[in-house]
Amino acid sequence: MTNFLKISTYLFLCISIVACSKDDPQPVPALSRSEAVIKYDEDVQFRVPNFSDVTWFSSDEFVGTVDESGKFTAQHIGEATITAEVDGKTLIARVVVEPYVTSMVEPYVNFGGSVQSIKEYEKREIFSENNTFLVYYGQGDLENTVGYITYQGVMTGAHINLKFEHSVIQSAMTFYKERYNYLGKVENGREYFESKDGLYRVFISNEYAYYTKDLFPGSTVIKEVSMEW
């Protein structure tokens, strides 16, 4: 009888353990956050708790990239969708990269566009006009004037005449870093940026920001620099 009780008790415990094991809930993959709002020089960490085998993707690497640990590093303003593939499931989060500087209004960038198209687009008050230039008063807090260079009735370039103050130049540099790829500094001191689509460049020289389709006017040597703006 004693042996029978021992065996019965043992079997009962085994059945109980198996039953409990079947009832234990399995972890369901879920992102640690579904949205983040950051600046272009910041990052944010995404995780899938209780899961280590996760594959991460960013929908727009111009806006920012995500590494194998789930850390999203911002690059430029905009929105990106973060996708995590884990345990046969796809999880999605959204990152919004907001600007520091919104107080500058860029020219109408339309190389080859007609002077008439510029006039139709522009909301600024015209300052002066001749056969090669079309100049408007600045609209934002950082510009004195905004000008267009024209040749035979079409736009070949543009520029912003910035207010010549250190804080304004700082803000302008931040403005372009938030929106353009920074290329570097050439021998003549110009700081170069490239548009997202790679179709044109902007360079900062003294109190001017020039828009051009030329690669590096005035120099062909790019230096890697660390800007302390």
Does the model's pTM come out above 0.85? no
Same structural domain for residues 125 and 213?
yes
**Domain containing residue 43:** 35-98
The rounded distance, in Å, linking the Cα atoms of 196 and 76 is: 10
Residue 227 is predicted with a pLDDT of: 40
Residue 7 is predicted with a pLDDT of: 52
What would the DSSP string read from start to end of 41-88?
T-EEE---TT----EEEES-TTTEEE-TTSEEEE-SSEEEEEEEEETT
201 Cβ contact list (under 8 Å, min separation 6): 183, 192, 193, 194, 195, 211, 212, 213, 214, 215, 216
What CATH number has the domain bearing residue 70?
A: 2.60.40.1080
Confirm if 174 and 204 have CB atoms less than 8 A apart.
Answer: no
Domains identified in the chain, total number: 2
Low-confidence ranges of the chain (pLDDT < 50): 1, 11, 18-21, 225-229
Same structural domain for residues 129 and 61?
no
Same structural domain for residues 119 and 56?
no
Residue 20 is predicted with a pLDDT of: 47
End residue of a domain, out of 48, 64, 98:
98
Same structural domain for residues 123 and 191?
yes
Confirm if 211 and 158 have CB atoms less than 8 A apart.
Answer: yes
End residue of a domain, out of 98, 128, 152:
98
Burial of 28 per CB tally in 10 Å (0-12, 13-18, 19+): exposed
Q: Is 150 part of any domain? A: yes
Q: Is 21 part of any domain? A: no
Q: Is 162 part of any domain? A: yes
Same structural domain for residues 174 and 120?
yes
Q: Is 48 part of any domain? A: yes
Residue 189 is predicted with a pLDDT of: 84
Same structural domain for residues 144 and 193?
yes
Residue 2 is predicted with a pLDDT of: 58
Residue 125 is predicted with a pLDDT of: 96
Burial of 4 per CB tally in 10 Å (0-12, 13-18, 19+): exposed
Q: Is 107 part of any domain? A: no
Residue 10 is predicted with a pLDDT of: 54
Tokens 């700081």 sit on residue: 191
Residue 27 is predicted with a pLDDT of: 87
Could you read off the pLDDT of 68-79 as tens digits, one per residue?
999 999 999 999
Residue 8 is predicted with a pLDDT of: 52
Residue 188 is predicted with a pLDDT of: 82
Residue 8, phi then psi, degrees to nearest 5: -65, -45
Residue 24 is predicted with a pLDDT of: 62
